[in-house]
Amino acid sequence: MSMLFTDNLNLLTNNEAHINNNYGSVAIKLSGAYITELKLNKNGMPYNILFCDSNKSLPKINASHPMCPVGKYTGLGGQHGFPRRINYKIVEKTSNLVKLAANGIYDGIQFYQEFAIDDNGFWLTNNLVNKSQNIISTSTGEHFYFNCDNNFSNIAINNKTLDKSLGKESIKNIRNGIATHLFRANNNNVITINETKILLQTESSHNNLFGLSFWQRENTKSFCIEPTIGYVDDGSKIFANDLIILNPGEAAYLKINIKIV
């Protein structure tokens, strides 16, 4: 098995994969698959969608990244699993698309990510395949850091404030670093951030396990939205059996679309 680059920083690469076309641009670090830039064009104007730390050379940065599994984890890679702690290789590249493959098999999983930008916005797909001889229970998602001026009272989900959408004192909790979850979430949501309306759409192999989580990294101008499948937080009893179950050779995917509307 290939080594996690955080176990040996000499393995860290700062190389990036890029898409740059008439519809926008995206840059992805090949260490950790962190998205260091996402811009989408609408009516001739570029919108800077995602936040990233100014210093991109560190092994772990505040930027959008993949998760497998989602949340607390004591196994390989720790919190959010191995995907943000490994190197990737480019296996396909066109003017509209980049496909990355993990540089090894981790936790029995072969992990791929596919990025695309076209006239329907930005597309990201997590693909995972059980390469082991055992049944694997897991979850996956993308931890998006959206640019945000920290005025959370102006953030809306389907034209409802965070407190109305997520429950009383959600804004306070998110500001204090307490993640808030929507289990059994809708697959199509319009998120308003900084007066920009963003359509967040998903499809997956496990639509019945789809959820959204919301959070903020302190001291950053960001608002985190995490589309997931199979995630269960520690306090949830109702959805305690809702992990993705993969038999040997089986696969799962989560496809996410971000579009300015």
pLDDT of 140 above 50: yes
Domain ranges of the chain: 9-260
Q: What is the pLDDT of residue 59?
A: 87
Query: What is the residue type of 212?
Result: L
Instruction: Supply the pLDDT for residue 100.
Output: 97
Distance CA 133, CA 59 (A): 32
Which percentage of the chain shows pLDDT scores above 90? Answer: 74
Name the nearest CA neighbour of 123 among 26, 45, 238. 26
State pTM to two decimals: 0.93
Average confidence (pLDDT) over 34-41: 98
pLDDT tens digits, one per residue of 159-215: 999 999 998 889 999 988 888 888 888 999 999 998 899 999 999 999 989 999 999
Largest CA distance in the chain: 51
pLDDT of residue 50: 98
Q: Which fold has domain 9-260?
A: Beta-galactosidase; Chain A, domain 5 (2.70.98)
pLDDT in tens, 199-257: 999 999 999 899 999 999 988 999 999 999 998 665 544 444 589 999 999 999 999 99
Instruction: State residue 242's pLDDT score.
Output: 80
CA–CA separation, 217 vs 2, rounded Å?
Answer: 30
Please report the beta strands in the chain, taking only residues with DSSP state E, as ranges in sequence order: 16-21, 24-29, 35-42, 45-48, 65-67, 88-93, 97-102, 109-118, 121-130, 136-138, 140-147, 156-157, 160-161, 180-183, 188-193, 196-204, 210-215, 222-229, 244-246, 251-260
110 Cβ contact list (under 8 Å, min separation 6): 101, 102, 128, 129, 131
For position 12, what pLDDT does the model report? 62
Closest CA to 138 of 129, 147, 149, 146: 129
Burial 58-83 (b: 16+ CB within 10 A, else e): ebebbbbbbbbbbbebeeebeebbbb
3-state secondary structure (DSSP) of residue 14: coil
Spatial contact of 53 and 35, defined as CB atoms under 8 Å apart: no
pLDDT reported for residue 252: 98
Looking at residue 240, what is its pLDDT?
47
